[in-house]
């Protein structure tokens, strides 16, 4: 793994760092710490904040009564760097000192995919509707309040002619690389079906009982 703070790291680099509390999801490093009460969580956030200020590298933090969720990313490179690895290790040490455990299995991020013949034409509308920004052909919310909306190129006339079920939106549900099979099994146990695993472990296509499709996604094989 490169120590260059400007060098973007791969998923293999992140795995090699041995960060047991953390998982790479999309372009960020995520962890959720089970603090159990608000005071413990607030104390952990205070320590994280002080460390972030000293490092000049600031994570996104969500404090709730039972947990603290932390997301790290180097926005200047559009991914993860050694800065994120170093801060993740420090945050884990603070959690360990407080007797707080992480819960990697609970980590999930959701994106919305919309089938469209010309996604570029639709981006401004969806960005305006959701209060997001139109960037790189997607509607991206910098505040993290709504999921990213991306557009999957498709020949809609052909799909209709072939009699395909017209489902325009689908969910991309991003999970830790080591939780995908458990999530898939949970979907199957809940009455869903596996449509395709041809692209696994990058993603599995699943459907509910009415045939509505979604994808379970990981960073592997990308």
* Predicted local confidence at residue 217, as pLDDT: 97
* Predicted local confidence at residue 222, as pLDDT: 85
- Say yes or no: 86 and 145 in one domain: no
Q: How confident is the model at residue 116 (pLDDT cuts 50, 70, 90)?
A: confident
* Predicted local confidence at residue 6, as pLDDT: 85
pLDDT in tens, 16-61: 999 999 999 999 999 999 999 999 999 999 999 999 999 999 999 9
- Say yes or no: 56 and 100 in one domain: yes
Decide if 1 is inside a domain: no
Decide if 3 is inside a domain: no
76, 106, 136 - which closes a domain: 106
Asked whether residue 156 carries a pLDDT value surpassing 70, the answer given is no
Asked whether residue 159 carries a pLDDT value surpassing 60, the answer given is no
Q: Helix, strand, or coil here: 118? A: coil
66, 84, 106 - which closes a domain: 106
Beta carbons within 10 angstroms of residue 84's beta carbon: 25
- Say yes or no: 55 and 24 in one domain: yes
What's the CA gap between 42 and 98, in Å, rounded?
Answer: 12
Q: How many angstroms from the chain centroid is the CA of residue 107?
A: 8
Q: How far is CA 21 from CA 10, 95, 151, 190, 191, in A?
A: 18, 10, 32, 28, 31
What's the CA gap between 9 and 76, in Å, rounded?
Answer: 13
CA angle 194, 25, 39 (to 5 degrees): 120
62, 85, 106 - which closes a domain: 106
Q: Structure pTM?
A: 0.87
Host domain of residue 58: 11-106
- Say yes or no: 81 and 120 in one domain: no
- Say yes or no: 87 and 119 in one domain: no
pLDDT in tens, 34-44: 999 999 999 99
Q: Helix, strand, or coil here: 181? A: helix
Instruction: Identify the CATH number of the domain in which residue 74 sits.
Output: 3.30.1360.20
Decide if 122 is inside a domain: yes
Instruction: Identify the CATH number of the domain in which residue 193 sits.
Output: 3.10.180.10
- Say yes or no: 117 and 210 in one domain: yes
Decide if 190 is inside a domain: yes
- Say yes or no: 139 and 76 in one domain: no
| Domain total of the chain | 2
DSSP-derived pairing of the beta strands 60-63 and 68-72: antiparallel
Decide if 49 is inside a domain: yes
Judge if the upstream peptide bond of residue 148 is cis by omega within 30 degrees of 0. Answer: no
- Say yes or no: 99 and 16 in one domain: yes
């Amino acid at each position: 793994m490169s120590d260059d703070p400007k060098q973007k790291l791969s998923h293999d680099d992140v795995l090699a760092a041995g960060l047991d509390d953390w998982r790479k999801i999309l372009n960020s490093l995520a962890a959720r710490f089970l603090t159990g009460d608000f005071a413990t969580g607030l104390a952990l956030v205070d320590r994280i904040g002080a460390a972030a200020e000293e490092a000049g590298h600031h994570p996104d933090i969500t404090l709730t009564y039972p947990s603290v969720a932390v997301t790290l990313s180097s926005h200047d490179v559009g991914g993860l760097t050694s800065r994120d690895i170093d801060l993740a290790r420090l945050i884990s040490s603070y959690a360990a000192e407080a007797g707080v455990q992480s819960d990697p299995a609970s980590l999930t991020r959701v994106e919305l995919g919309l089938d469209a013949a010309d996604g570029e034409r639709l981006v401004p509308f969806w960005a305006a509707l959701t209060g997001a920004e139109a960037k790189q052909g997607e509607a991206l919310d910098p505040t993290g309040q709504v999921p990213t909306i991306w557009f999957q190129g498709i020949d809609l006339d052909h799909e209709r002619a072939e009699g395909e079920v017209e489902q325009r939106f689908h969910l991309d549900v991003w999970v830790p690389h080591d939780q995908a099979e458990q999530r898939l099994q949970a979907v199957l146990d809940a009455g869903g079906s596996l449509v395709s695993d041809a692209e696994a472990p990058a993603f599995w296509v699943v459907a509910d009982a009415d045939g509505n499709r979604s994808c379970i996604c990981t960073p592997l094989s990308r």
